Structure formats: structure tokens, C-alpha cells
């Protein structure tokens, strides 16, 4: 399977898990808490496969950067959290950084 598809899966599971954290209410609600743990587990499982095929620095930069970007945007949608122009600029700089890292990666 394509490593980048697995990486996208890892990012998606991490984003779902993070978005469910408020619903877990400090791990006091069973169903959201179980979903958080399962989402993070799936994310790390996919990451463990991807790091065997792609450099760790590339994988982690992509996972963390695109995760932060996605969480910020989806938090604005689902939790009505406001994003000022500085935050939006920072988010786009993250995307640019992840893009540059992936374009100029060195594979061994």
C-alpha cells in the first residue's frame, strides 16, 4: 500500500482522536474515551508502518504539521473556536513547511 496513504490514515485517526478529547470530558465518558484511545492507537499503528518506508523526520513533520492544521480548522467548525489572521497565517506556513520538507526530502 502507498506509504503516503497510510500516513494520511495516521493523520486522520490522530485528528479524530484529538477532536474527540473534549467529548471524553477528561476520560469520564466511556464511549468518547474508547474512541479516543482507539483512534490514537490506529494512528500510531499506521505511523509504525510508515516509518519503515519513509524517513522519520518526513513522517513526523507531515503527521504533526498536517494534524495541527486540520485540528485548528475543524475546531473552528465543530467547536466554534475563532481563528485570527495571525493563526491562519501560521497554519498556512505549516502547510508550506510540510510541503517543502516533502518536496526536498532525501531518501536513502
The continuous run of DSSP H or E covering 4 comes out as helix 3-24
- Res 103: pLDDT: 86
pLDDT band at 1 (very low <50, low <70, confident <90, very high): low
- State how far the alpha carbon of 32 is from the alpha carbons of 10, 80, 91, 94, in Å: 19, 20, 27, 29
Q: Is the pTM of this model over 0.75?
A: yes
Question: Rounded mean pLDDT of the chain?
Answer: 93
pLDDT in tens, 73-108: 999 999 999 999 999 999 999 999 988 988 887 765
> How does DSSP assign 26-82, residue by residue?
TTTSHHHHHHHHHHHHHHHHHHHHHTTTS-HHHHHHHHHHHHHHHHHHHHHHHS---
pLDDT in tens, 41-79: 999 999 999 999 999 988 999 999 999 999 999 999 999
Amino acid at each position: 500500500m502507498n506509504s503516503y496513504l497510510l500516513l494520511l490514515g495516521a493523520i486522520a485517526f490522530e485528528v479524530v482522536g484529538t477532536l474527540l478529547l473534549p467529548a471524553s470530558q477528561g476520560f469520564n465518558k466511556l464511549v468518547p474515551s474508547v474512541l479516543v484511545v482507539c483512534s490514537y492507537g490506529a494512528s500510531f499503528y499506521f505511523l509504525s508502518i510508515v516509518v519503515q518506508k519513509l524517513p522519520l523526520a518526513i513522517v513526523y513533520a507531515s503527521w504533526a504539521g498536517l494534524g495541527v492544521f486540520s485540528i485548528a480548522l475543524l475546531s473552528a467548525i465543530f467547536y466554534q473556536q475563532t481563528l485570527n489572521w495571525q493563526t491562519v497565517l501560521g497554519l498556512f506556513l505549516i502547510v508550506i513547511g510540510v510541503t517543502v520538507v516533502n518536496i526536498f526530502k532525501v531518501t536513502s
